[in-house]
A and B are shown apart, each in its own frame.
Chain A
């Protein structure tokens, strides 16, 4: 079980949402939106804040209930897949990923630990190296990290579950330009390794640099970017 042996995503194929509607307090935050991503693909969703893109991403991560629409993983209805298994295959990173108590190692080991599995020191080191952090960071307290480090530790923590898909909400918005560039390159590299990635961002320049399939979210609907 090395983090670089991401063989499964190709088999899982595709994460697809169709006709998704999310209504809160009588308002449709997401209004019949479609979005899909294949293994190895980067999909970028742009849009102003309040356009519903984060809500769509959270609905695709099954973290909020949909009022209508379908969600499938590898052709299987998400409702048929136990939530714990679905969420290990489809990782979700919020804009400001909270660090859990304890060291970086504790944080990165969270997913496997929740599943009752252990994770070796070597795997932990390989995971943080993969997101461009030195192995020494494992011993540090996670809550002492900077914004850029947190973002990458959260990514390593998500990758520890060996997901097939990554849903990232504004991964660069809270970062300085250098850290943002690193994270963008990392996302590109992960897609090249076979992960399907959806990135939501309001920064047009970052969207362009990801070189993926581009969409925009306007008033809860998603359409191809002109």
Chain B
């Protein structure tokens, strides 16, 4: 079973959707027109570029290239998750901790799956490693960004309470515990909601993609089940690790709170 090709002129028709949103933004004075146009252009450019890159990668499938591609994705994910946070202890440590959290979460989800559940042949087959790896990395990136953002914001807003707990003999872990719990719960909830609504509300992109591409639906859903379980473990590990490592940025070795500076403002603000 084949699939319907999209020639470029017909692809351009999809721009109409962006035009609709831009018109609505202008009429509603939302001032999102530039962001929408820029976002649409970037998304197209990035995806077209990755399409050609993936084609080149599939044509020259060697372990080094595949690992390089995954490493680059990991670096971009780490940088993106850490870039808006300002740590009093320097941005290099923050970037390193974000990288470690994302890498660990993704590795725990990817290695067993590629070893036992969906073993690609050869083991470095880019068709499997890159898209599934990308899904884990991007999910992990979002969780790490959210956990860091929330914990650093709590350390700023609740500095007096955290210090009071320290003064009463709390360890940094104890003093930060309520905020850590809240951050991890908030980071896990979208993944859990995903588990609860998948198939009822959302038909995930990978699964629909596979079905459109001609894979038997009952096989496509198996992939999707594996992916969703992988997302759960990635989120849990990356989030917990990011929370643990951020304590090193928020406290001195002598258990003194380092109140972090204000974060970078969001784009467009």
Q: Is B12 an interface residue (CB 8 A)?
A: no
Contact present for A157 and B256 (CB under 8 Å): no
Contact present for B167 and A91 (CB under 8 Å): yes
Closest to B161 in A: A98
- In the bound complex, how far is the Cα of B161 from the Cα of A97, in angstroms? 8
Q: Which of A61, A110, A158 contacts B165 (CB 8 A)?
A: A110
Contact present for B169 and A161 (CB under 8 Å): yes
- In the bound complex, how far is the Cα of B151 from the Cα of A176, in angstroms? 37
CB distance from A12 to the nearest CB of B (A): 15
- Not counting A84-B169, A158-B167, a sample of 4 additional A-B residue pairs whose C-beta atoms are within 8 angstroms of each other reads A63-B167, A85-B169, A87-B168, A110-B168
Q: Which residues of chain A in 113-143 are interfacial with respect to chain B, using CB atoms and an 8 Å cutoff?
A: 114-115
CB-CB under 8 A from A68, the residues of chain B are none
Chain A residues bordering chain B, tally (CB within 8 A): 27
Known A-B contacts A63-B256, A79-B254; the reply to A114 vs B169 at CB < 8 A is: yes
Q: Which of B163, B171, B252, B254 contacts A94 (CB 8 A)?
A: B163
| 15 A-B pairs in the complex with CB atoms less than 8 angstroms apart | A63-B163, A63-B166, A63-B167, A65-B252, A83-B254, A84-B169, A88-B168, A91-B168, A92-B167, A94-B167, A98-B160, A100-B164, A114-B165, A114-B168, A158-B167
Closest to B257 in A: A63
Q: Is B170 an interface residue (CB 8 A)?
A: yes
CB distance from B165 to the nearest CB of A (A): 7
Query: Which 6 A-B pairs rank lowest in CB-CB distance, beginning with the nearest?
Result: A83-B255, A88-B169, A92-B167, A111-B168, A98-B161, A84-B169
CB-CB under 8 A from A213, the residues of chain B are none
**Residue positions of A touching B, CB distance < 8 A:** 61-65, 79, 83-85, 87-88, 91-94, 96-98, 100-101, 110-111, 114-115, 157-158, 161
CB-CB under 8 A from B174, the residues of chain A are 114
- In the bound complex, how far is the Cα of B254 from the Cα of A97, in angstroms? 22
CB distance from A102 to the nearest CB of B (A): 11
- In the bound complex, how far is the Cα of B230 from the Cα of A118, in angstroms? 41
Q: Which of B160, B169, B252, B254 has the most CB of A within 10 A?
A: B169
- In the bound complex, how far is the Cα of B68 from the Cα of A96, in angstroms? 54
Known A-B contacts A62-B256, A65-B256, A79-B254; the reply to A97 vs B164 at CB < 8 A is: yes
Closest to A115 in B: B169
Contact present for A84 and B255 (CB under 8 Å): yes
CB-CB under 8 A from A84, the residues of chain B are 169-171, 255
- In the bound complex, how far is the Cα of B160 from the Cα of A97, in angstroms? 8
CB distance from B210 to the nearest CB of A (A): 48
- In the bound complex, how far is the Cα of B255 from the Cα of A63, in angstroms? 8
- In the bound complex, how far is the Cα of B167 from the Cα of A64, in angstroms? 11
Closest to A88 in B: B169
